[in-house]
Amino acid sequence: MHSSAQTSTVKGRKNPPKKEQQIVAKNSTKWYKFRALPYHLFTIWLIACNDLKSIVLPETAFGIFSALAAPLTTNPNPTAIDVLSRLPRVVLWNWMNVLLFDIANQRLPSSIIEDRINKSWRPLPSGRLTETSARRLLLAIIPLVFLGSLWLGAVHETAAHAVLTWMYNDLGGADELYIIRNIINALGFMCYSSGATKVAAGEYDLTTRAYIWIAIVGAIIFSTLSMQDLPDVEGDAARGRLTSPLVNGDTFTRWEIAIPIFLWSIICPLFWGVNLLGYVITIVVGSLLAFRILWFRTVAGDKVSWKTWCFWTGTLYALPMFVST
């Protein structure tokens, strides 16, 4: 006669009944899923965290500052409480669009080659995420971002940004001559600036002066964004990207970036007619950044200069707050 309990492979020990084994397996699966959720959330965080300082935070600041400046929206008397109440929505809108772009960008084989050298901590080169999983994640993210924009606002900017993302990544715009790449980037930043302002302004529209200011932002990005390529030369060379440092050489590129930075630090305050403090902030920060680019020519130095560039754009975005009354 056979016992109701199965014989264990270990002598003198019996396996638990089959029903108990199923319960243990079910509980183990639940615990695995519980542990997996933080893992996957951290993976998503890693995808977009590098663009918090360069896009999400500065463009959120742009939207808030622009919505508070009466000449840039149809709201004649914007209040800080009203505009700042929409701050979480502006952050979310920017982050969603950045996440969409970053997944589309980082899943490409050429991007993985570059990131193994420049940013090996990212999910794909580190093995946290496979190319197939990244593609499926992108399939899920695209409709979610559009649905989010229908709720938050600025759906037209999201649509334009999605097209530019397709051009930049899948059509290889990022790998064309750096001028083409900078044009696409400039248009992308204009989408962020316009969208962030619309979300921050609520039911109000942007004025003609706002669109002129956004166009100036596009020109700033076009003429200075090669700054981000200086610390990434090795990885860009590995994937065959035609960045300014690789096409024109290190010295020419540094002057090509430093001169426009200094000039924009003067032109933008002039455009706004700001008070003395507005001039001082932008000129001091811009001059410091231009000096850093020309003087500190190491990868570590360029990474600090890139962070300084992000802060510099933030000072330009704040200029409407310094308009003389």
Global confidence as pTM:
0.83
Nearest Cα neighbor of 232 from 302, 173, 307, 185 is 302
Amino acid at 6: Q
The string of pLDDT tens digits covering residues 22-61 is 543 444 444 444 557 788 888 889 998 988 988 999 999 9
Give alpha helix (H) positions in the chain.
18-48, 57-68, 80-84, 87-106, 109-118, 123-126, 131-152, 155-168, 178-201, 208-224, 233-239, 244-248, 250-272, 276-295, 299-317
Evaluate if residue 166 carries a pLDDT over 90. yes
> How would DSSP label each residue in 184-217?
HHHHHHHHHHHHHHHHHHTTPPBPHHHHHHHHHH
- Residue 210 CA to residue 104 CA, distance in Å, equals 30
The tokens for 41 are: 């959330």
Separation of alpha carbons 179 and 161, rounded Å: 19
Q: How many angstroms separate the Cα of 21 from the Cα of each of 4, 31, 34, 71, 249?
A: 14, 15, 20, 69, 66
Among the residue ranges 12-21, 55-64, 103-112, the one predicted with the least confidence is 12-21
Is residue 214 pLDDT above 80, yes or no? Answer: yes
Q: Is 183 exposed, middle or buried (0-12, 13-18, 19+ CB in 10 A)?
A: middle
Burial of 32 (0-12, 13-18, 19+ CB in 10 A): exposed
**Which residues pair with residue 323 across a beta bridge?**
274
